[in-house]
């Protein structure tokens, strides 16, 4: 499972997402940046910044 925390890119933002595939995490992050942070143009460098911040999510133990 992959995880992206927006606060690693936009300080103070607590939004995060998880998905099995990196592409889905990137898609959700881009949509979040458009809707929540008002980014109208997502440049390839922004996608690179998102990918750099995606981490493997640690499974929780019950």
pLDDT-derived band at 60, boundaries 50, 70, 90: low
Residue 49 maps to a domain = yes
Residue 61 maps to a domain = no
Residue 62 maps to a domain = no
Query: Reduced to 3 DSSP states, what percent helix, strand and coil does the chain have, rounded to the nearest 5?
Result: 45, 15, 35
Query: Residue 26's domain spans which residues?
Result: 2-56
Residue 20 maps to a domain = yes
DSSP letters, 25-46, are HHHHHHHHHHHHH------HHH
| Total number of domains constituting the chain | 1
Place of tokens 């998905």: 19
Q: Is residue 29's pLDDT more than 80?
A: yes
pTM of the model: 0.89
């Amino acid at each position: 499972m992959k995880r992206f925390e927006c606060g690693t890119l936009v300080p103070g933002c607590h939004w995060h997402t998880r998905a099995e595939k990196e592409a889905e995490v990137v898609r959700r992050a881009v949509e979040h940046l458009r809707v929540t942070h008002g980014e109208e143009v997502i440049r390839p460098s922004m996608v690179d910044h998102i990918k750099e911040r995606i981490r493997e999510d640690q499974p929780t133990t019950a």
